[in-house]
Structure formats: C-alpha cells, structure tokens
Structure 1
Amino acid sequence: MHLVKCRDTGHETRVGRVDWLVQWWGGVELWVVQLPVAVQFPVVMIVVLPLCLGVARLIDRVADWGAKNPASGSDLAPEPEPEPESEKVAA
C-alpha cells in the first residue's frame, strides 16, 4: 500500500492493489452517465453486451470443465451406472 493525495480534498489516503481499478471504473461510469441517452444505448450495445456475453461463455466453459473433472478422491463422486441388459426376444 502507498499513500495518494485525493484530488478533491488534498487528504492523503492509502491505496491498495485494486483501488486503481475501482477508481478507473468510477471514471468510466461517470463518463457513461454523463453521455446523452442516444449515445449511451449504442455504447452499451457495442461494448457492454459483447463483454457480458464473453464472461457468460467463460463461466459456462469453466462450469462444464468442473462437471467433467470432479476433484479426485471425492466421496461425493457418483458410482458408474451398470449397463442395461439387452432385452431377449422370445421366438
């Protein structure tokens, strides 16, 4: 952590490792909110929608991978189901 002076008040505050991301996001959010609605809509549709779709696909792939590869040595792993017997047809 290191000390940074606040732009508004001049007070020194401690800044952590992810505070830069929080400050950046606050700036982006403020910029988008100040745009006219006619500009906000295309920005959201062109930038935010594909970003959310990509994150959703990533989460889906990680969940699929986790379902296919359960933790080894887990007592919760289901036992394999026996193969069904073929039906015998009487002649």
Structure 2
Amino acid sequence: MVRNIPTWIVAKCRDTGHGTTLKVVDWLVQWWDGVELWVVQLPVAVQFPVVMIVVLPLCLGVARLIDRVADWGANNPASVPEPEPEPEPEAEKVAA
C-alpha cells in the first residue's frame, strides 16, 4: 500500500539508497546533529557564550525538574507503606 508521505518525513538510507519513513525520534536526532555541527563550526570565542547562555540554563532547568520529580516521588503518600500498629501492652498479671 502506497501512502502520500510528506517529503520532509522521507529520507534516503545511506547504505541502500531506499526511501525510509523517519519517526519523530529520528527527526529529533537529525535536528540535534545539525545544531551540534553548527556549534562545532563556530569559533571558540562564539561557542563559549552560546554554551553559557543556552546550554547551561537548559541543563539547570532539567536538573531542577529531575530533583522535583524525585522529591515528589519520595514524599508521595502512595509510595510510603503504612506503619504497622504497635502491639498493645498486655496487662500485667497480679499475683494473688
């Protein structure tokens, strides 16, 4: 069955030359490769500010998100088992 696939989703395989449908993750990987290549080709004097202004805050935000999710998981009442009730002390037997 042949479907009308937009051309931006179709890519040629490097080895065989056959057209393949890209998934969202493949698109993201290709986009990231392009960004990475762009940054690497910049002069070092430009790379440093780009990393400090863009990548550092992004990493800080992801770290804070992970920290909040971990705190939420640790404090989630559903994840904490209920404490077992302490056994009631038996009344002392009085010797007559």
Residue 57 of structure 1: aligned partner: 64
Bigger relative contact order, structure 1 or 2, given CA contacts below 8 A and separation 6+? Answer: 1
Residue 32 of structure 2: aligned partner: 25
Residue 79 of structure 1 pairs with residue 56 of structure 2: no
Residue 44 of structure 1 pairs with residue 70 of structure 2: no
C-alpha separation between the residues in 1 aligned to 2:27 and 2:11? 13
Residue 76 of structure 2: aligned partner: 69
TM-score, reference length from structure 1: 0.68
- The alignment yields a C-alpha RMSD, in angstroms, of 3.0
Q: Which runs of 5 or more structure 2 residues have no equivalent in the other structure?
A: 87-96
Percent identity of paired positions between Structure 1 and Structure 2: 73
User: Which is greater in Rg?
Assistant: 2
**Which amino acid is 1:4 matched to?**
V
Deviates more, 1:28-37 or 1:11-20: 11-20
Deviation of the 1:30 alpha carbon: 0.4
Q: Which runs of 5 or more structure 1 residues have no equivalent in the other structure?
A: 83-91
Cα deviation digits, residues 3-57 of structure 1 (max 9, x gap) = 6133x88x31231232111111010000000001110000000000000000000
TM-score, reference length from structure 2: 0.65
Deviation of the 1:79 alpha carbon: 3.0
